[in-house]
Structure 1
Amino acid sequence: MMEFNFYAPLRIIFKENEINNIAAYTARNGNRVFLVVGKSHLKETGKLNEILEKFKRNSKIEEVIVFDKTPQNPDVEAIEEAKNEIIANRLNVVVAVGGGSAMDLAKIASICAKQEKGVWQLKEDPALNVLDAYPIICSPTTSGSGSEVTRYAVFNDNRKRVKVAFSSLSIYPTVSLIDPTLTYTMPQSVIANTGFDALSHAIEAYTSRSACPITDVYCREAISLIGVNLPKAYNSKDKNAMNNMSLAAMFAGMALNVGRASLPHALEHSLSAFNPELPHGLGLSMVMVPFLKRAVEHNKEKFADIAYLLGEDISNMGIDDAAKRCIDAVIEIKERIGLNKSLKDFGFDKKTIDELVDTTFWTMDHGIKNSPCEFSKEDIKQIYYEALEG
């Protein structure tokens, strides 16, 4: 008999233009606000000023401190700076309006500030799951990370050159405010990178050893939506396609809470730890196909289903060929959204790869073990080598 434990204490609001009510949702949870955003996008589009005006007009909000120093991959230094600002200004609610990096930084800073501890101290605390955090409101401006609905975040330690997963029930967002209109101004490259991140979440959680019937439902819906809508969103910014990508990212994020990520994320975390300027979704696109070539033999029914959900005609195929069509389907999506880079384009070489293998096993051993089959250090090295050439 299959056994699973699904827990997701979330309030999700999915509605166009609901960002206009962010101050009201925030005021129900605190009156001194730490607002985390990206470095430039919200400013350039004028949306940040609109959001600040909403807070200004809400009589229950006493203060808003804006943190706009979020790196491409949130790191220990940025989290520490954010934590100190929350403590120094006696703030009591954390709001993130941004992509996965802004939301991850906000979630980790919230619990670090509440506990008045550093990120590594908390990461290694056995009581992490039950430690309090300040209330967290997340509103994504991209459709990929799913951080708005998960208990996960990631951070880089640039001195150690590692990227580490951070998990706690306490950093589930109190409110997940998903307004698809916030994604309409995404640059084309961000649509591609974040969209592939969502696809990776769904593929990994669907085929992982932790998958369960509930996560399967979320994953299948996410994969189906992405197959149809990601190319449309990339090529034309079709609003219906963009809305559906926000929905797909949410479904894939929900699946991660139990199904969890597997080898592709383990591999990519080491890559963007070595080069923090490598976009997460782009890194995933480099390692996904080499992973699939080795994994499809070990969960043929689900990989065949992924091929079907991505639009492949497998009706007259045996299970072996149908499973392999998953590889073709993912390659086609990559081509349609312009993801054609290799690791060489970001400064990697064979010497670098050899150094990354041990790091991957140290920082993401749980992801490797959650994969549909076993992967040795030599397997991982060969996957990296294939990604090196593109």
Structure 2
Amino acid sequence: MNNLETPISLVRPGLIEFGTGVAARLGAWAAGKRYRRVLVISDAFNATRTGVLGLSGEVTVYGDVKAEPDTSDLDRVLRVAEDAEADLIVGFGGGSAMDLAKLAAVLVGSSQRLADVVGAGKVAEPRKAALAQVPTTSGTGSEAGIRALVTDPETKAKLAVESIHMLGDIAVIDPALTFTVPPKVTAATGVDALAHCVEAFTNRKAHPAIDIYAIEGARLVGRYLARAVRDGGDAEARAGLSLASLYGGYCLGPVNTAGGHALAYPLGTRWHVAHGAANALIFPHVLAFNTPAVPEKTRTVLEALGLPASESVESIFDAAHGFCASLGIEMKLRQLGVLANDLGTMADDAFAIRRLLDNNPRDLSRADILAIYEAAF
């Protein structure tokens, strides 16, 4: 684990607007910057309510973002973006919309293509359009980060791009936009935010400058997630989750996630399980597995969630599993349509994601990964 003397780089969007009812501040900001042509990248539902953003000028809306987008989805977005010639690109939706907005912002008008920028620091030049991010779920934290992911449909692998040029000029986080999120999605995305925080907190690269956000994000999820699942219109609970998601986003840049996300990704790429649901199902397994390597931090996580602390790995698993299951989250792979004969291939996929597994506080072998999948089946 890193200490206070370890160098770390922290980045944030240039401006963050946070609070119930702030969505229209985006339009005021854009007008002040004299942006005339705006492209909003969104899903079908949010495409119908872009008016809340208060945007003026020539506004083009791409409203066909799907969960777990692949390279063909990105190609469609890029074609629309090239035609729009926007001076402002807005990601309006969940992580998929915001990630596609990031990629569109750096690829449109550039000589580079996706293959050129996969990896860290490979975007060669600043983007030509401004970038705004407006989340409508509380989970991904993508509004605060510099990473974007799309799936390669041939290899079923996530292609990750990381660049400071994908940092938003503004993030507008209005919890009111999340009031309509259904209970099951609220639960899954909330545990995704939790996983970002916990995986950063227990990470080999963990740092005190990030720990403070990570553990407070976990506390916010522990305090507010069940409330928001019970009552989607609970404004305080929704605001608490929006803040937890933002804090999780703060964790992703300098520290990033670890084993939990590595094991969750194949559920999305191979079986199209929503990212939040995949992370929620895997979360208790990896938390318990990692406990011997980070016992004190695991105890702190359990306390943050209001769960009984324990030295027993089995008790820790039971507590975390019960927390997720009590929210109505499906906790068995077979109930999500995953077939038993695919678990080995999924283990191969997950074991190859070294950029995340190398962050895990305890080494995860392929056999360990397969054993977790089998236990979750």
2:360 pairs with 1:371: yes
Q: From 48, 51, 56, give the equivalent of 2:50.
A: 48
Q: From 229, 236, 248, give the equivalent of 1:234.
A: 229
Partner of 2:275: 280
Partner of 2:164: 169
- Match of 1:5, SS? coil
1:322-341 to 2 correspondences below 5 Å: 326-341=316-331
1:55-66 to 2 correspondences below 5 Å: 55-56=55-56, 61=57, 63-66=58-61
Contact 1:34–1:66 (Cα < 8 Å) also in 2:
yes
CA distance in 2, matches of 1:129, 1:263: 30
Aligned-pair distance for 1:270? 1.6
The one-letter amino acid of 2:6's match is E
- Match of 2:132, SS? strand
The one-letter amino acid of 1:354's match is G
CA distance in 2, matches of 1:125, 1:368: 16
| Uncovered stretches (5+) of structure 1, i.e. residues with no partner | none
**Cα deviation 1:184-221 (Å, max 9, x = unaligned):** 11111210111010011011010001110011000111
- Match of 1:258, SS? coil
Partner of 1:358: 348
Contact 2:158–2:269 (Cα < 8 Å) also in 1:
yes
Contact 1:144–1:195 (Cα < 8 Å) also in 2:
yes
CA distance in 1, matches of 2:155, 2:141: 26
1:164-203 to 2 correspondences below 5 Å: 164-203=159-198
**Cα deviation 1:322-351 (Å, max 9, x = unaligned):** x76543442232122101242212332232
- Match of 2:43, SS? coil
Partner of 1:387: 376
- Match of 1:312, SS? coil
Shift in CA distance, 337/352, structure 1 to aligned 2, threshold 3 Å = same
Shift in CA distance, 76/381, structure 1 to aligned 2, threshold 3 Å = same
Partner of 1:347: 337
**Cα deviation 1:40-70 (Å, max 9, x = unaligned):** 2452xxx33444xx324xxxx3x21111110
Aligned-pair distance for 1:33? 0.9
Shift in CA distance, 221/325, structure 1 to aligned 2, threshold 3 Å = farther
Q: Does 217-226 or 346-355 show the bigger shift? A: 346-355
CA distance in 1, matches of 2:70, 2:64: 11
CA distance in 2, matches of 1:115, 1:170: 12
Partner of 1:127: 122
Shift in CA distance, 334/150, structure 1 to aligned 2, threshold 3 Å = same
**Cα deviation 1:225-275 (Å, max 9, x = unaligned):** 100100000012221111111011111110121121001111111220102
CA distance in 1, matches of 2:150, 2:277: 17
Aligned-pair distance for 1:360? 2.1
**Cα deviation 1:78-124 (Å, max 9, x = unaligned):** 11111122222322211011111111111112111142433222215
Aligned-pair distance for 1:133? 5.5
Shift in CA distance, 125/221, structure 1 to aligned 2, threshold 3 Å = closer
**TM-score, structure 2 as length reference:** 0.92
- Match of 1:18, SS? coil
Partner of 1:107: 102
Partner of 1:14: 18
**TM-score, structure 1 as length reference:** 0.90
How many correspondences in the alignment?
371
State the identity %: 26
Q: Does 235-244 or 345-354 show the bigger shift? A: 345-354
Partner of 2:246: 250
Shift in CA distance, 203/129, structure 1 to aligned 2, threshold 3 Å = farther
CA distance in 1, matches of 2:268, 2:6: 35
2:197 pairs with 1:208: no
CA distance in 1, matches of 2:99, 2:183: 22
Aligned-pair distance for 1:372? 0.7
CA distance in 2, matches of 1:372, 1:163: 22
CA distance in 2, matches of 1:85, 1:173: 20
The one-letter amino acid of 1:37's match is S
CA distance in 2, matches of 1:95, 1:357: 36
Aligned-pair distance for 1:312? 2.8
Structure with the higher fraction of residues in helix conformation: 1
The one-letter amino acid of 2:358's match is K
Partner of 1:265: 261
